[in-house]
Structures are given as C-alpha cells and as structure tokens.
Amino acid sequence: MQRLWNSGAVRFVREMVRIYFAKRVSRSAAELAYFLVLTFFPVLICINAFVGLLDLNIQEVLDAAAPFFPRETLGILGDYVGYITSNQSTALLIAGAGMTLFSASAAFRALMNIMEELYGRKGYRGVWRIAASLVFSVLFLLTVYLSFVVLLTGDWLFRLVEDFFHLEQAVLPWEWQWFRFLLLFLMMFFFVLVVYRMAAPRGKPRPPVLTGAFLAAAALVAASALFSWFIGLSSRYSLVYGSLASVIILLVWLYLCGNILILGNVFNCVWYRKKKVKALRQSRTWKS
C-alpha cells in the first residue's frame, strides 16, 4: 500500500489535489461560473439572431434533432426555429454581442488570475490584458456559432469535404450523425488549447498546455453528457426546486465546467514542475 501511495501517478494526483485546495480552485471556478452565467443569456440572444440568418429548413432541423430530443419537444423546437427566422432585431443583437464581450472577457480575466497564482508568474497587463480578453470573447462566440452550424445545418460540411478532397463516399466510413460529434470535440479542444495558451503567464520557458487541454476538452464533453444523463434520470427535481430548477441546473453545470477547465491548468502546472525538477536533476548530474 505504501509503495502504491508513493508511486509516480499517485504522487502526481496528490500534488494536483494539494494545489486544488491550496490555491482555492473551487473559489475561482465559482467566479468563472458567475461570469459565464452573465455570458449565457446574451449568447442566447446572439444565437437566436445567428440561427435566424441561416435560413434553415425547419423539417431538416427536426430530422437532425430527432435522435437527441424527446418526441414531445420537437414541435416546440420547430415553432422556435420558425419564430426566430421570421423575427429579427438588430438592436437586440448588438446589445447581446456587447454584453457577451463584456462578460466573457471578465471570465477570461478570472482564468488568467488563477493561472498567475498557479505558476507564480505575472501574465498580461494593461492594454494587452484587455486585448487578450476581447480576443477570447470573440473566439468564444465563434466557437459557439460554429458548433451550432455543425449541429443544425445537416451534412453539407460532410459533402464539402468529399468534394474538396475528391473522395468517394465509400472512403469516408463515418455517418455524419457521428462525425459531427468528432468535429465538436475538435472545436472544443482547439478552443481550450488557445485559451490555455493565451491565459498562460508570460516569460520563458512557456508552460506546456497541449496535454491538459486535451484532457480538459475530453472531460468537458464527458462530464456534460453524464450530467445531462443524470438530470434526465432525476425527473422529480422540478418538484423540489420549482421554477428555479433550470437555473440551478445551469449553475451547477457551469460550476462543474469551471472546475474542469481550471483542473486542466492544474494538470499542466504539475506537469511543468515535474519536467522542471527533472531537468534540474539532469543538469546537476551532467555538471558533476
């Protein structure tokens, strides 16, 4: 038992747990969730306007959503898509985009603060800090929009890949219904990777971000799916919380995502320290 406790993998996890409590990661995750909640509703306004501009075929949307939504909700989804397609407000879109930029940039600054605490190094300051947070906001909106394009616009992207690379249909073994989830994961991975790189403290050497970003993206997708499944099993939660049930579920989900996003950074930090210690030992051995 003692041998297992002192093994490399267990010591790695123990160090992550120590940093989690020492740096009050749960507090930072709550701060991140708060700003993401402020971002959530303006994003919905922007999504409404964006979906309305896609000129979607309602029946195609319903056919694509049929495997994922209960049959009773498909009629509501069809009415929703029809309504936002015919009712657009430019002023509301501008207000939603402005609030999204403000709230998402605040969330990114919260992530930068915890990164500075983890590594003990300063990050961007002044104008560069504001610019980085605005870039994050735009990237966040772009990721959300591309995700909805992949989910709602059918298999046009699949056919575009076939035409661009001159591939026969038999060469691509995946059905679009499953291939889209791979695309969503890749977009999530790219988003987390860029966010980690942008939020990483300045100075050399730059801390590694690739492994932690991949694990965080996979954990975000898996945790969201499991959380959705768990909530689906708890059919009576609305009897306990009433009309606040949806808001409470959203808060818990965002808090969970915030913890995962920061834990990916904690993984990178521990990995960086282990590599640094190993390099110092090798340097001392070489000098001696």
Q: State which amino acid sits at residue 282.
A: Q
CA distance 5 to 18: 15
**Could you tell me the residue ranges of all domains in the chain?**
18-267
DSSP 120-144: T-----THHHHHHHHHHHHHHHHHH
Selection from 215, 140, 217 nearest residue 185 by Cα: 217
Range with the poorest average pLDDT among 19-28, 90-99, 224-233: 224-233
- pTM over 0.75? The answer is no
What one-character DSSP code corresponds to residue 56? Answer: -
* Residue 174: DSSP 8-state: S
Asked if residue 58 lies in contact with residue 78, where contact means CB atoms within 8 angstroms, the answer is yes
Q: State pLDDT tens for residues 196-216.
A: 887 776 666 677 788 888 999
* DSSP H or E segment with residue 91: helix 90-119
Contacting residues for 98 by C-beta, under 8 A, at least 6 apart:
42
Average pLDDT, the chain: 73
Residue 23 vs residues 113, 121, 247: alpha-carbon distances, Å: 11, 14, 28
Q: What is the pLDDT of residues 228-237, one digit of tens each?
A: 666 666 556 5
Which percentage of the chain shows pLDDT scores above 70? 56
Query: Residue 40's pLDDT band (boundaries 50, 70, 90)?
Result: confident
